[in-house]
Amino acid sequence: MRDFISMKDFTKEEILRILKLAKSLKENPQGNLLGDKIVSSLFFEPSTRTRLSFTSAAYRVGAKVLGFDSPDATSLKKGESLRDTIKMTGAYSDVIVMRHPIDGAARFATEVSNVPIINGGDGANEHPSQTLLDLYTIQEEMEKIDNLKIAFVGDLKYGRTVHSLSKALSMFNCEFYFVAPDLIQIPEHILKFLNNRNIKYTLVDDYKDILPEIDVMYMTRIQRERFENLDEYEKVKTVYEIDKNSIVGKCKEEMIILHPLPRVTEINIDLDDTKHALYFKQAANGVPVREAMYAIALGKYHLDEDEIDVEKRESISDHEEIQCKNNRCITQIEKTRNKVLEENGIKYCYYCGREIK
């Protein structure tokens, strides 16, 4: 069995095997693959596509689903801890899919759960299932993933989809453009991760000059709910808004536009009927990808890790005296082992991935 918490837990070879399995399940449905399994769907934060596609994927492989889509209807309203919620739901099911507003919550859940955990998004940290369906879409449309030029546009500071996808694409020698104002530019800890892997990237505040060069434009919503200061949100909420006139004829013929959705004003609906717009197809690809994740998490398929030469760049240790300073980290809320991950001489929080200085 296998957890899905962060993209950096997987090698390039494993990612390609997951995508291959997803394609196989899409082309050859297996309606009773998980007929004896129960999925707990725990969404502590609002969701449409992620929650529904995980539920659809479970039904399509024969699993049953229980859970909640709002913590207001659960014992969390009575003060129950995440630790206890995970322990109890693990007793009722074979795998837990969870979305949580706190960074590192999914990693923490693996320490207290006796069943596999699939991270459906933890705060502003990571979103591995979204990344896998993004990679699946890129591979299907571009017929490759390696050596592409990707522009991430919008909320890169809080955008967990961007954080996960940039980590995954670093394995495919892609070149990045991070397009955002300074206020919501990509976090330093992500740049250090890319620097350690010698990945080429450029920080810019306007996409127009790079539009003719890029293969993939990954748009994101400015996430009002992540801002602690709403005045800052007001400054950037409409900073990037693309439409047919600003894109068509100004980009590569084969360029694709992706978006993890939901969108607000950043993509005009007049782009929807162009060949560049792939975001709805991208969302639909979430179903076979999540079918594959279930199959791997529950041991129906194996990634044959022992056959893969994994380069170890990091070490993990307990440091009771060190605590993460990220006030959105699970270590600020639950009692943890204060694990520290060290890579190339730099210490990071094991749970939320932030550098510990």
Catalytic residue among 2, 8, 17, 127: 127
Annotated catalytic residue 197: no
Catalytic residue among 12, 23, 49, 235: 49
- Nearest CA-CA partner of 355 in 229, 191, 228: 191
Annotated catalytic residue 276: no
Most distant pair of Cα atoms in the chain: their distance: 57
Catalytic residue among 50, 131, 137, 331: 50
Annotated catalytic residue 100: no
Annotated catalytic residue 78: yes
Annotated catalytic residue 325: no
Catalytic residue among 8, 51, 99, 259: 99
Convert the chain into a string of H (helix), E (strand) and C (coil): CCCECCHHHCCHHHHHHHHHHHHHHHHCCCCCCCCCCEEEEEECCCCCHHHHHHHHHHHHCCCEEEEECCHHHCHHHHCCCHHHHHHHHHHHCCEEEEEECCECHHHHHHHHCCCCEEEEEECCCECHHHHHHHHHHHHHHHCCCCCCEEEEECCCCCCHHHHHHHHHHHHHCCEEEEECCHHHCCCHHHHHHHHHCCCCEEEECCCCCCCCCCCEEEECCCCHHHCCCHHHHHHHCCCCCECHHHHCCCCCCCCEEECCCCCCCCECHHHCCCCCECHHHHHHCHHHHHHHHHHHHCCCCCCCHHHCCCCCCEEEEECCCCCCCCCCEHHHCCCCCCEEEEECCEEEECCCCCECC
Can you read off the two tokens belonging to residue 229? Answer: 């200061």
Asked if 54 contacts 117 with a C-beta cutoff of 8 angstroms, the reply is no
Which residues are part of the catalytic machinery? 49-50, 78, 99, 127
